[in-house]
Structure 1
Amino acid sequence: MKNLTVRMRIKSLYRDMSSKEKLIADYVLDNIKKVSRSSISEISSELGLADSTFFQFSRKLGYNGFKDFKIALLTEEFDPEISIHEKISSSDSEVTIIEKVFDASVKAIEDTKKIIDFDTYKSAVNLMINSNRVTFFGLGGSNAVALDSYHKFLRSPIPVNYASDSHIQIMNASLLTSKDCAFVISHTGTSIEALKIANLVKENKAKLIVLTSYPLSPLAKLADVVLISCSEETTYRSESLSSRLSQLSVIDALFVTIMFKNGKKSNESLKKIRKAISNTKE
């Protein structure tokens, strides 16, 4: 989480925070400037909490302590590249609405890029390359991303599998072996079906890669490798919809990296695919 801003850290962990931690988080997000200029005792007193509670909150976000946390707030406050996303309102014109939706999409991808851990990506690439087969899983909106991933990786030298039906996905998971890899996509990381699939994967000792927006989710805790995507929620467009664009970018990054790592086999696969597809065109 070293590349995450304070806002992004709070957002990614918020759902899994305790009630007191959420109280602090809400206060910080609503009073960035004030918090960055106050002492830990002043803030704790205003919230009716012990100093140690706020200190532990800053540690949970990945900072060494309150001083480190304040420095990050000050940096964020004066960084011109960091701005609070403008929410869409009923008074916005059609042009403004369109611009804000595009801005939210761009920001989701930019935020995801900022938090890239290259070692984690390398681990995911190695797991996929060294597996006998990679099977993509996704439920609901994540199913579309899983399908796109499958469609993309069919062009790679890696044998891949995918099914749209949730029951067939569970059946696929039950047939994985220790030499296979499951790639599960879930924005929340709490889907009952996704967790059932992940548990079957672990029972079969197959490798598990998870792509989610919540690094502390139950699904992420089961994974061998966790890839994080960011999202921006706007009116009538939930986080899960926005997260698809950043998820697709993560998949694209893995795909291109894998294709370049084994150029000869990748080119052979592409030639076969293109030849087969060319026969469908006039």
Structure 2
Amino acid sequence: MSNRYLESTIKRNYRFFSDTEKKVADYLMKNPDDLVNKTIANLADETGVSQATIFKLVKKLGFKGFQDFKISIATNSSPDNEPALIAYNDITPEDNSYEVAVKVINSNILALQNLPPQLDHEKLDNTLKRIYQSKFLHFFGIGGSSVIAYDAYQKFTRTEYRCDYMSDYHLQLMTATKFTKEDTAFVFSHSGQSIETLKLAKIIAKSDANLIFLTGNPYSEIASLADETLTVYSEESKYRTESLTSRILYLTLMDALYINVMLHDEKKGQKAMKKIRNALSESKTNGPYSEDSFE
């Protein structure tokens, strides 16, 4: 019997494993039922790898040790918590338009259900602290990541902070050279392998600014330069890439940060929002929608 939580936890990190770690990961996915009763020595004997390899594997999965890993699997593997949804991967050419729509929606629901276990409380708090200490917030992304950066810019413009976003790469580089300790830069790259984004991150890292990196690859060189790295994992499907699948997760994570920022100093947040609504109201005709609705 498969274990959805265990499979999801392993698959989102699988490409970062060594060959021996993949051997253990494959064994765990094929034999999930008795995992909670095994010791690290048992698993080493059954897979033919060292205990050190297993320890490295569970660390890459984000756990403190093998016991922590087993507790998490046991806690999150109740049959009652297994989502009974037909996912995006199950789409076939025989599906009608409504069936395709339902499966895409279900796939996004499953991705969002898998997001909370990925979040690190300490990293979230540290990211928010860096925002609170800043005056200027900057949002950067190349290609598909630029869409996420622009959406984040639209959100945080409604806060008390001064924000900017620019799509031109040369302007991004030029702006980054002027950063100070009052700046926090959010850099988005799902692969973590963009040469342009790496160059930008290196410039930001040389300044006194805070560098927050949002990615699906916590082992990239960019992650090593960042003050905080927030990782979003997702699975690739037949009809769309992993970066597209993860888009809704990045948007949701930035929503969570935005709401936290607004709640941190609610009076200032409401004051900033009121000013924006007043400014926007002059550009809209009277109607049933609020002044702050999207265009």
Give the TM-score category using the shorter length: 0.7 to 0.9
Q: Which SS does the other structure have where 2:24 is aligned?
A: helix
1:280 is aligned, of 263, 278, 283, to 283
Q: CA deviation at 1:138?
A: 0.9
Alpha-carbon separation, structure 1, partners of 2:137 and 2:242? 27
Pair 1:194–1:79, CA change in 2 (3 A): farther
Pair 1:154–1:103, CA change in 2 (3 A): same
Q: CA deviation at 1:273?
A: 1.6
2:269 is aligned, of 266, 270, 273, to 266
1:185 is aligned, of 182, 188, 193, to 188
The sequence identity of aligned pairs, in percent, is 35
Q: Is the 8 A contact 1:132 1:179 kept in 2?
A: yes
Partner of 2:289: none
Q: Is the 8 A contact 1:129 1:158 kept in 2?
A: no
Q: Higher relative contact order at CA 8 Å, sep ≥6: structure 1 or structure 2?
A: 1
Partner of 1:23: 23
Pair 1:128–1:83, CA change in 2 (3 A): same
Pair 1:272–1:52, CA change in 2 (3 A): closer
Aligned pairs for 1:152-163 (under 5 A) are 152-163=155-166
> Which residue type is aligned with residue 267 of structure 2?
K
Alpha-carbon separation, structure 2, partners of 1:202 and 1:240? 25
Which deviates more, 253-262 or 56-65? 56-65
Partner of 1:248: 251
**1:151 and 2:143 correspond:** no
Q: Is the 8 A contact 2:188 2:214 kept in 1?
A: yes
Pair 1:71–1:266, CA change in 2 (3 A): closer
Partner of 1:53: 53
Partner of 1:90: 92
Cα RMSD after superposing both structures: 2.9
Q: Give unpaired runs (5+ residues) of structure 1.
A: none
Which deviates more, 228-237 or 39-48? 39-48
Aligned pairs for 1:8-157 (under 5 A) are 8-33=8-33, 49-50=49-50, 52-61=52-61, 62=63, 64-65=65-66, 69=69, 72-73=72-73, 77-82=77-82, 86=87, 87-90=89-92, 93-94=95-96, 95-157=98-160
Which deviates more, 103-112 or 262-271? 262-271
Q: CA deviation at 1:223?
A: 1.6
Q: CA deviation at 1:9?
A: 3.4
Alpha-carbon separation, structure 2, partners of 1:75 and 1:265? 40
Alpha-carbon separation, structure 2, partners of 1:35 and 1:261? 42
Pair 1:156–1:117, CA change in 2 (3 A): same
Alpha-carbon separation, structure 1, partners of 2:264 and 2:59? 38
Aligned pairs for 1:168-247 (under 5 A) are 168-247=171-250
Q: Which SS does the other structure have where 1:226 is aligned?
A: strand
Count how many residue pairs are aligned between Structure 1 and Structure 2: 278
Pair 1:78–1:122, CA change in 2 (3 A): closer
Pair 1:5–1:215, CA change in 2 (3 A): farther
Q: CA deviation at 1:96?
A: 3.2
Q: Is the 8 A contact 2:184 2:212 kept in 1?
A: yes
Pair 1:241–1:50, CA change in 2 (3 A): same
Alpha-carbon separation, structure 1, partners of 2:198 and 2:41? 41
Pair 1:279–1:58, CA change in 2 (3 A): closer
Which deviates more, 26-35 or 213-222? 26-35
Q: Which SS does the other structure have where 1:136 is aligned?
A: strand
